[in-house]
Structure formats: structure tokens, C-alpha cells
Structure 1
Amino acid sequence: MLLSSLFFMKSFCLQVTCENILRFAELLFGDIDQLASCIVLFDLKLRSVLYCRSSTSTKESLLHSPGQHPVTPLVDFIMTGAPPDDDSLNIDMLSKWLSQSVLLPVVVRKVFKALLAGTDERLMPDLKDRTVLSPSALVLSKSVRKMKLFLFSQKNGESFSKLLNAVNGAGPCLIVIESDKGRTFGGFANEGFSCGNQYTGDSRCFLFQDHPRLAIYSATGFNSDFAYLNHQQAFFPSGLGMGGHDDHWSFFLHGEFGLGTSSPSISTFEKCWLANETRFKVRSVEAWRIGKPTKRKRYDSEGNEIIEDEISALDRDPEAQAILELAGKKTYSDAYREPPKNE
């Protein structure tokens, strides 16, 4: 009965037989075009499927917003840009959209794998550390296996020097900020942060918002003001920020810890206003290292280099690649990767 209830037909109810179940499984676990055919042929209601799977994975989590289903932001995020679910829907249209989505094919297949094969796998990552990130945001980070919290201000102390020491030269980094108004946002620096008067990173950096809604804002390519870190250096802003300069930033954490700046529509990234206020008070800050620790150029507060080793631009950490792809940023440099050196 459970399988029968899931095999919706577009114009009539198809009798569930062994042959039809095998055909369903063949299409479901095939390529993107076959998955699109499966969804259209069996009239699968994607939003209902996503709610079913995501609710199961996050049922132990508290609601991030009173009165809101805990996975509504995640489902809305995954379904962004979906073609209309009506008579105009066709396989080509759906296949094109699915090919641009990293998470949706994974979730749909996990739902029916659990039903057909009796196996199940949680979408939520197993994190040992506490975080202000919502269940929806955590589901997005599930494939990033090496995600280590190396600073949580409420636990490690509210000090900019501690934030500086944690992220300076540490490699790919995710910054999570919670404001005193309850907004949760931040950014991913694909090259991390290096203290000095120069920006780091490239167009694979992105900003995100977790609460009140889930959203990711990509780089526009207009400029290279991606990730910035400086401390007590004359004529330069003292603090950590992304997307901006001077007094105008997508977000900026001041050297006087506890204060932040945020401006709308900074040209480095897609249009957003993360804090929804120009000056905000910081409730907490988290810094997550993505992937293995890396040796990178580090600079002291005067801009002097203190480590000489530099990571190859094409030798990206696979965990950093994973979080980029979840943000909708496919990586294309693998074909040009330098051959590994024999140790």
C-alpha cells in the first residue's frame, strides 16, 4: 500500500506490478534524463517527497522559527527555479533543471532507496560541536565530511584576536554570524583569510543567509573584494569581512568585537542585505574549517609573511569542492590538476 500510494500517474492510476517497480527503479537510479522521465511518468510530487524525507531527517531538531515547519526553508531553497508542475511540464525541461541541482536528485533517490531496498541514511551531518545553523543549512553541509568548528565565540570567548588567530592562514573557511536581532548569515572563503591589506579568494567565494530564510549569493565577477582580514594596520579597516571596502561591506566584523557592518547591494556578490541593518550587534560568531588544515601564506599584523608554503590554485581540497557544489558552483578544474608528487 505504501508503494502504491507513491506511484501517482498523470492521467490514470497505473497498476503496481513487479515489471513496473523494476522500471521505476531503473529510471530512478539512472542518469539525470532517466530521473526526469521517472518523475514525469510516475507524476512524483517533488515538494511532497522533499518534505517527507527532510522532515524525517530533522525531526529531532527544534524549530528555527516559531510557527514554521523546520524544513520549509530547505524545501523552498531546493525547489528554487523549478519548472511549473502542470501540463506544460516535460522531460527536457525537468532534466535541464535537475542537471543544475546538486541536492534534489540525491534526496529523491534516498527516499525511494529506503522504500525499495529497506536502507536509510540521515541527511543531517553528525557534528560534535554546537552550532546556530538551522537543520536546513546543516542538511546542505552533509557531504562535507571534514567540517571542524575551530571557533565559537560563546564558548571560546568574545575576542577579535581569538577569531584572528583561528582563521588566519587556516585554509577554506565558513564564517557564521548570528546578530542580536536573530538573523543568521555569513560567507564561505574558498581560500580562507590571510591577515594583511590584500583580499583573498576568487569567484568561488559566496555569501549565505540561514535565517529568516535560506539563500546563497554568488560572486558577480564585478570586482575581487572577496575575503578580507586585517588588524591594527594603519590606513586599513581593522576586522574581518567579505564583499566590500571602507565602510561598505556585505558583512564586516570590527576589531572591536561585538560590532558589525552590513550594507545592501554590494557589487561583489549578488544583491542581498544580510543583516538588514547597517550597524548590527553580534550575538555569536562561528568559524568552521572546511577540509584538512593547509599550509598557506600567513601574515602578521604588519603585513610580513610568516609562512612561505603556498597551496596550488588547482589543488583544491575535496571538502571545499563539496561545499562549492552544494552552493551551485560546479568545479571544472579537475582536468587541469597537476599530477600528485611522489612522497
Structure 2
Amino acid sequence: MILLKKEYAWHIGGALAEEELEEWKLLYHSSYNGLSFSTFLGNITNKHGRTVLIIKDKEGHIYGGYASQPWERHSDFYGDMKSFLFQLYPKASIYRPTGANRNLQWCAVNFSSEDIPNGIGYGGRVNHFGLFISASFDQGQTFECTTFGSPCLSTTNRISPQVIECWEVVQSTKQEKRDGVRGTVLERFKEDRHMLNMVGLANSSE
């Protein structure tokens, strides 16, 4: 089951800058690839594009994060102020960086220190993340987070992922941008084309 439904794609896409959204490419889905951190990393690392991580937990809540920088092994937070967290179900919300800190992305792999938990995450602080999935890929956490001004994204701070998927946001080329048509109606058509690309990709992946 693909989590990225049409209304969810509109919700997330509306929070992205126009030049960042052209087509979405499915990089990883736990139903097809298994709940495996190593497989996940193999599919998403060394990608130049931006990524959207979507999680459905065992409580039925759906939420995730947008990462504006590639996922790379670090011992500390990194990233830029384009990243954000979001909720999709049971309510839809976007949580952008507040400027309180720069703890935007977290990607720790094969560290042995308890002070550097292995896994991927967004915001907050170590062991008190806005959103975090551990390297075991069967548990994680979501806390109220000053980085994004976000609440706990689920019903509890400790989460158990049921479905995890990750999409790469593919940018249009410079030539495509130069050739882009202007005008309200045509711009609307362009937006609809983006959605058809995304939905078509999702349908072909089922």
C-alpha cells in the first residue's frame, strides 16, 4: 500500500518551493523492500535530490519529514532551513523551522556510543527528537520539538512503524525551467501535470 495519496501529495507539495517539485521517485517502501535500515540506506544515500519520508505507525497515524539535504553519515545534526516535519492523518499540518536551533537532520550509522543513536531523524535533540526511527527500524520516537515548533506527531512519544516509504523529489532541469510557460491557466495545468506524475508513479508501484 502506497501511503502517498493524492491529497497527501498536494499537502506536502504545497509546502515546497516551486523549483523543488517536478516529479517524485519512490526510493524505498517497507512492504516491498522489508523493514531494513541497511536496505533503506542503500536506496536513499548518495542521492542528490531532496527526500520525503512518510511513516504510518501501528496507531494508524501518518506523518513524516522533508529533508532538503542528502542523507549522509554524521555524528551530529546537519541540514538547512528548508527541511520541515508534517502530519497527514488524522490531521494535516506542516511544521517549518522556527530558527530556535539548527538540529534539522540526523543520520547516524554504525556508531557505538549511546550519545550518538543510530538511525535517522529530524529536529529536537539527541534521544528527544522531533521524529526519529532507530536503526532497528521497528521503533522510534516523536517529541514536542522547538526546532520545528511541532507537537508529538502520534498518540505516544514512542512509536512502532508499520509502513515506511521514502520519495526523492526530482527537480526539473534548467532548460525545462526556461521553457516553462506563463499564465494562470497554464501554470495550473503544470501543477496538475506534477500531480499526474506523482499519482501515476504511485499507481505503477502498487
The two structures have a TM-score, normalised by structure 2, of: 0.74
* Percent identity between the two aligned chains: 25
AA in 2 matched with 1:286: E
Q: Is the partner of 1:138 in helix, strand or coil?
A: helix
Does 1:137 find its partner at 2:13?
no
User: Given the alignment, which residue of 154, 157, 166 partners 1:287?
Assistant: 166
Alpha-carbon distance in 2 for matches of 1:177, 1:273? 14
Q: Is the partner of 2:39 in helix, strand or coil?
A: helix
| Equivalent residue runs for 1:276-315 within 5 Å | 276-291=155-170
> What's the CA shift string for 1:102-126, capped at 9, x where partnerless?
xxxxxxxxxxxxxxxxxxxxxxxxx
> What's the CA shift string for 1:159-180, capped at 9, x where partnerless?
0111122222323111001101
Alpha-carbon distance in 2 for matches of 1:204, 1:216? 12
| Equivalent residue runs for 1:98-113 within 5 Å | none
What does residue 147 of structure 1 align with? 24
Alpha-carbon distance in 2 for matches of 1:240, 1:134? 24
Q: Report the structure, 1 or 2, having the larger strand content.
A: 2
What does residue 168 of structure 1 align with? 45
What does residue 148 of structure 2 align with? 269
Whether contact under 8 Å (1:133, 1:210) holds in the other structure is no
| Equivalent residue runs for 1:142-291 within 5 Å | 144-171=21-48, 172-235=50-113, 236-264=116-144, 266-291=145-170
Alpha-carbon distance in 2 for matches of 1:133, 1:275? 18
Shift of 1:134: 3.6
Whether contact under 8 Å (2:59, 2:155) holds in the other structure is no
Number of residue pairs matched? Answer: 166
Unaligned stretches of 5+ residues in structure 1 = 1-129, 293-314, 319-325, 327-343
Q: Is the partner of 2:130 in helix, strand or coil?
A: strand
Shift of 1:207: 0.5
Alpha-carbon distance in 2 for matches of 1:250, 1:134? 24
> What's the CA shift string for 1:279-308, capped at 9, x where partnerless?
11110111101115xxxxxxxxxxxxxxxx
The structure with higher relative contact order (CA 8 Å, sep 6+) is 2
**Which structure has the bigger radius of gyration?**
1
Shift of 1:184: 0.4
What does residue 196 of structure 2 align with? none
Deviates more, 1:130-139 or 1:187-196: 130-139
AA in 1 matched with 2:44: V
Whether contact under 8 Å (1:230, 1:237) holds in the other structure is yes
Alpha-carbon distance in 1 for matches of 2:42, 2:77? 17
Q: Is the partner of 1:191 in helix, strand or coil?
A: coil
AA in 1 matched with 2:106: Y
Shift of 1:158: 1.1
Q: Is the partner of 1:201 in helix, strand or coil?
A: coil
Unaligned stretches of 5+ residues in structure 2 = 178-190, 192-206
Whether contact under 8 Å (1:200, 1:226) holds in the other structure is yes
